[in-house]
Structure 1
Amino acid sequence: MFPNLFSIFDPSTSFFFSLNWFSYMIFIIFLPPLYWMKSSRLIILIYEFIMFLYNEFKLMLNKTMMSNLILMLSLMYMIIINNLLGLFPYIFVSTSHLVLTVSFSLTFWLSFNIYGWFNNFYLMFYHLVPVGTPLFLMPFMVLIETISNLIRPLTLSVRLMANMIAGHLLITLLSSLGFKVGMVSLILVLLVQFILFLLELGVSFIQGYVFVVLMIMYSKEVDD
């Protein structure tokens, strides 16, 4: 049961050639309407949403990191689109794999740390010892902060992956009950699935937002 259950997250389930990873690029379809001379209501809504995030992220970033603002918005837009596409039947959930999430988190984490160690060398050491730490605890705090910093890419990627997998597994488990229950129970199962689907819609936006906000917080630490 469990191999079949987790096969919905398998990127190589095709008989001839795996096209699942092409779902990662489907978000490009949503870009051309932005260049229409007359915008639709959907495009206006997306534009207002992006501008709201633009103004919010602009307050979080330092002046030297302001050039990353468009990059952060693009990353969030890409993650949200891929999360939402995963809610459609027979579309591969690309953000449910560590291959993709680790690629995002590790790339940004490495770039921020390389920038910090080359441009703010002493500041990076200051972050290893919190203010007010007793002298005898400093070696332990350096070790703890170093480990905490090293596992950040993993925690970021696992957070996004686990949240995307959890909701899809619940919906899949409930759908497997459809052939085994009566009509009244089936209606109840469909109602619960609909509620879970609405929750997954919210999770798709929240996880993209949380991922990018944490990236912004990490970028501020290397340039305070």
Structure 2
Amino acid sequence: MMTNLFSVFDPTTKIFNINLNWLSTLLGMSLIPYIFWLMPMRMNMIWNLIIMTLHKEFKILMGPQGHQGSSIFFVTLFSIIMFNNLLGLFPYIFTSTSHLILTLTLALPLWLSFMLYGWLNYTQHMFAHLVPQGTPPILMPFMVCIETISNMIRPGTLAIRLAANMIAGHLLLTLMGNMGPSLSMLFVSFLIFGQILLLTLEVAVAIIQSYVFAILSTLYSSEVN
């Protein structure tokens, strides 16, 4: 029998003798997206600006024939490669993008999917693409061979370019670092300064190579539309 009508409002929800009734006060804040009550950090604002800039650039490269929203895929590809490139610059962290097993895993399925899509849907356009406009008839067989070979080596050039640039910078940093114990204090200070400059260059190379990989992938996809 209820002794008091207002006893239903008493805090009675307990787990391990911890009163959880007042958590309902914060429940509404957890359901509202953080963008409405939390100011975004400068890093988030910069990253959103980079993403929107890349989205606009990739959309221009793909042209009006490009599929809606496909630029997001290349922005994601750029982000993944750049993240792995920059992560490999920290000590004792494995640089996955310096190995062909990863770069080929990214480049080969992309190129193969573009080729299958192009030859299955735009066969005449793909045949016409093998002969550049204005080629003399006598040179057409040679141009077909050259264009075919250049098309076949595209995934290899994408993969080797990324891996070679990552390997070269890390090897140079390692070789310069191994010279430290055999140098005097004066030369060690110059060596450290040179290492800092080289590390700054490697950061730029890591960003540029991820951008080049994404841009070339976008150009390859635009050729089959």
TM-score by length of 1: 0.82
Instruction: Tell me how large the CA RMSD over aligned residues is.
Output: 1.2
Q: Is the contact made by 2:114 and 2:220 (CA closer than 8 Å) also made in structure 1?
A: yes
Distance in structure 2 (CA, Å) of the matches to 1:92 and 1:207: 18
2:132 paired with 1:111: no
Task: Tell me the CA shift for residue 51 of structure 1.
Answer: 1.2
What are the superposed Cα offsets for residues 110-153 of structure 1, whole Å, 9 maximum, x if unpaired? 11111100110000001111111111111111111101100000
Q: Given the alignment, which residue of 147, 159, 183 partners 2:161?
A: 159
Name 2:104's counterpart in structure 1: 102
Name 1:187's counterpart in structure 2: 189
After TM superposition, the structure 1 = structure 2 runs for residues 165-184 of structure 1, keeping only pairs within 5 Å, are 165-184=167-186
What are the superposed Cα offsets for residues 141-189 of structure 1, whole Å, 9 maximum, x if unpaired? 1111101100000000000000111111100000001100000100111
Q: Given the alignment, which residue of 150, 156, 169 partners 1:148?
A: 150
Give secondary structure in 1 for the equivalent of 2:156.
helix
Q: How many residues align?
A: 189
Give secondary structure in 2 for the equivalent of 1:67.
coil
Residue 50 of structure 1 aligns to which amino acid in structure 2? I
Name 2:219's counterpart in structure 1: 217
Task: Tell me the CA shift for residue 36 of structure 1.
Answer: 5.1
Distance in structure 1 (CA, Å) of the matches to 2:69 and 2:137: 39
Name 1:14's counterpart in structure 2: none
Give secondary structure in 2 for the equivalent of 1:88.
coil
Name 2:198's counterpart in structure 1: 196
- Alignment identity in percent? 49
What are the superposed Cα offsets for residues 16-58 of structure 1, whole Å, 9 maximum, x if unpaired? xxxxxxxxxxxxxxxxxxx854322211111111111111111
**For structure 1, which segment, 80-89 or 52-61, has the greater mean C-alpha deviation from structure 2 after superposition?**
52-61
Give secondary structure in 2 for the equivalent of 1:179.
helix
2:38 paired with 1:49: no
Task: Tell me the CA shift for residue 90 of structure 1.
Answer: 0.3
Residue 77 of structure 1 aligns to which amino acid in structure 2? S
**For structure 1, which segment, 136-145 or 61-70, has the greater mean C-alpha deviation from structure 2 after superposition?**
61-70
Name 2:16's counterpart in structure 1: none
Q: Is the contact made by 2:82 and 2:207 (CA closer than 8 Å) also made in structure 1?
A: yes
Task: Tell me the CA shift for residue 64 of structure 1.
Answer: 3.2
Higher CA-based Rg: 2
TM-score by length of 2: 0.81
Residue 57 of structure 2 aligns to which amino acid in structure 1? E
Gaps of 5+ in 1: 1-34
Q: Is the contact made by 1:95 and 1:164 (CA closer than 8 Å) also made in structure 2?
A: yes
Residue 42 of structure 1 aligns to which amino acid in structure 2? M
Q: Is the contact made by 1:65 and 1:219 (CA closer than 8 Å) also made in structure 2?
A: no
Name 2:88's counterpart in structure 1: 86
